[in-house]
Structure 1
């Protein structure tokens, strides 16, 4: 019998441990599926019920809608006492640091300032709370404690853009528009088209995030509103008056809010005509409607369609993420 113990061979180096990163998301039970999908699109993991996701993927989440912060994990332990000891034993150094504490447990009675002070005492270096050079993140859950170095935080750009001067009663919420763009997995600087742009909510979000945006609308007044909104924020984008059923072009990503009314049969015919053209415009489409129309995407050649419900006070929107 021949046996071999490869990990004991002196010429074989041990595999280096992969870095781990912690991400924190907003928490909202009605929007939980959307939040999970966004972190999955960024870091390949879903957050737990506390909004914590651990990944081996480091990615910029500054454009996120619901992923709040990402940090490189420096130390972890079962609890605060263990984390404090681990930080000290590793000799973690940071000069001019500040610690942001996220206490996601009811089991720990200490205040956030007390937690930060204990961890600060274990770090080699001086803190600087007014102008930190290094931002650290302490996360404490029921059964785990982490200390990480923050590398990315979301900018909440949708808050500024939601104050656009021209809007309509049916305009998408800006945060939802940003989320839809992120669910595509297509990152800037890609070419984004909104073939039913209305007052330009999706165009504004896309341009602010760094995409090259183009919008179409059959209504001249809506085209003007989109142009004025882009100009108001100093953002660039092209807006063209045209019927979305007949536009042409090549784009990396299509994101839109399809029009809907009270006549379901009329809507169905319109959606069928629109999607039959959308498939020619982009390999990835993220489209929100008032009902699930995934069968139309499959009918016109999309290979996969994920459908995510987005509850509103009096009805539910359905976000379709379709890929060729």
Structure 2
């Protein structure tokens, strides 16, 4: 929320001039692109009366009920939807509309606009051909990518420890310009196959992060942490120093404290959060 909109809040909804499609995030459900707003439902009817829906599209009106104690009843919601639908000019299709319009009451203010629902893209990516036991879940990977690259326009990204490609797939599905590399030659054929399986393509090369020479806007690094990938402090320091040298912004996923090493290599923590699953905790650290 902070990365997308510049602030966060406890409420389950927010208003922002920043346009983000809800499918970008596993934690967004839907969005209303507000066309009309008013202080009363009667004023709203006046403003939307005669609203023209393109002839090539069918439509449906949906009342969006906030998760609050003053929810409207099912009958009240249907009545509002019916009345709004009758005021619009166009072809109604209640089963498979091409466009949905949403009506919502927010703190006494009524809004009307095009409703976009989230599609669980990340969930489909769980079915990739090759899995890795310690890889990020697709849901967390998508969140990490959004934290790293909230606005992908003009941004070049690298995942220099890409493993089986979970982060790469999520980034590519959002149209992000990303490449991957890894030091483990055995995993890379599976990485490339996972990417191709979903119809994506990008460069995935055999390379140690310490040998990367091209510069990127963002580097995303999921630090190795399983029993077979225990790294000495010196090697962690070299990895993070290399990350600092190849990117303006570095987003690190780690299960262990890295504050001292980050400070020593000159990476400054500007934000952080925690992802928990049962007793297993990962930190997501944003550095510049």
TM-score, scaled relative to structure 2: 0.84
SS in structure 2 at match of 1:137: strand
Aligned to 1:190: 155
Aligned to 1:279: 244
Verify: 1:97 aligned to 2:59, yes or no.
Answer: yes
Count of aligned pairs: 279
Unaligned runs of 5+ residues in structure 1 are 1-36
The answer to whether the Cα contact below 8 Å between 1:188 and 1:209 also exists between their aligned partners in 2 is no
Picking from 241, 251, 270, the partner of 1:305 is 270
SS in structure 2 at match of 1:245: helix
CA 1:135 to 1:60, structure 2 compared with 1: closer, same or farther past 3 Å?
same
The answer to whether the Cα contact below 8 Å between 2:104 and 2:110 also exists between their aligned partners in 1 is yes
The answer to whether the Cα contact below 8 Å between 2:159 and 2:179 also exists between their aligned partners in 1 is yes
Aligned to 1:8: none
CA 1:199 to 1:133, structure 2 compared with 1: closer, same or farther past 3 Å?
closer
- Output the CA distance in 1 between the equivalents of 2:9 and 2:84: 25
Superposed CA RMSD = 2.8
Deviation (angstroms), 1:273: 1.7
- Output the CA distance in 2 between the equivalents of 1:200 and 1:149: 35
Deviation (angstroms), 1:53: 0.7
The answer to whether the Cα contact below 8 Å between 1:43 and 1:58 also exists between their aligned partners in 2 is no
SS in structure 2 at match of 1:103: coil
- Output the CA distance in 1 between the equivalents of 2:282 and 2:103: 36
Verify: 1:229 aligned to 2:190, yes or no.
Answer: no
Aligned to 1:69: 30
- Output the CA distance in 2 between the equivalents of 1:131 and 1:262: 51
Deviation (angstroms), 1:236: 0.5
The answer to whether the Cα contact below 8 Å between 1:68 and 1:154 also exists between their aligned partners in 2 is yes
The answer to whether the Cα contact below 8 Å between 1:202 and 1:256 also exists between their aligned partners in 2 is no
- Output the CA distance in 2 between the equivalents of 1:280 and 1:302: 10
Verify: 1:42 aligned to 2:7, yes or no.
Answer: no
- Output the CA distance in 2 between the equivalents of 1:187 and 1:235: 17
Aligned to 1:240: 205
The answer to whether the Cα contact below 8 Å between 1:75 and 1:86 also exists between their aligned partners in 2 is no
Deviations 1:139-161 (A, max 9, x none): 345755432223x5443221221
Aligned to 2:119: 155
The answer to whether the Cα contact below 8 Å between 2:44 and 2:110 also exists between their aligned partners in 1 is no
Deviation (angstroms), 1:194: 0.9
CA 1:308 to 1:128, structure 2 compared with 1: closer, same or farther past 3 Å?
same
- Output the CA distance in 2 between the equivalents of 1:189 and 1:130: 39
